[in-house]
Structure 1
């Protein structure tokens, strides 16, 4: 009897979480996307130094382009 109560309570809790959005990955994805945007926008760089700010942005963009190029090359080689 006690196990049935626990199962019913767990199902009610899961249904409530599903309705309220507690099981959604959206907040996690928004946080990750915001962190990625901040990284490539060089939010951690010194805002008063425009050269450092734009140098950081350019370097991170070039690093992303190099990564995509390397990934493209490796996929072409091994697939």
Structure 2
């Protein structure tokens, strides 16, 4: 009987942990998204044997990110001004 209660407690603990980790509104989602963006911009998926490819990819992705942010700022200013 005690073994069954321990098993149920362990199962509930595991299910609560899974629910907490997969909650899209929790910190885990934000931290995963931030880590994914960081890994993308810093070219974590590129072969490290070729330093020119690594730095070129980092430069290109950073430039693309800055361009996208600049376009978003321009769009917001354009909409606010109304013309």
Q: In which range does the TM-score fall when normalised by the shorter chain?
A: 0.5 to 0.7
Matched residues, number: 61
- TM-score (ref. length: structure 1): 0.66
- 1:67 offset after TM fit, Å? 0.6
Instruction: List runs of 5+ in structure 2 lacking aligned partners.
Output: 1-11
Provide TM-score, normalisation by structure 2. 0.63
CA RMSD of aligned residues (A): 2.1
**Alpha-carbon separation, structure 1, partners of 2:73 and 2:31:** 27
Matching residue of 1:7: none
CA distance in 2, matches of 1:78, 1:65: 20
Q: Does 1:31 find its partner at 2:32? A: yes
Match of 2:73?
72
Aligned residue in 2 for 1:10: none
User: 1:51 matched to which residue of 2?
Assistant: 52
Cα separation, 1, equivalents of 2:40 and 2:48: 14
Q: Which runs of 4+ in 1 moved over 4 A?
A: none
1:60 pairs with 2:61: yes
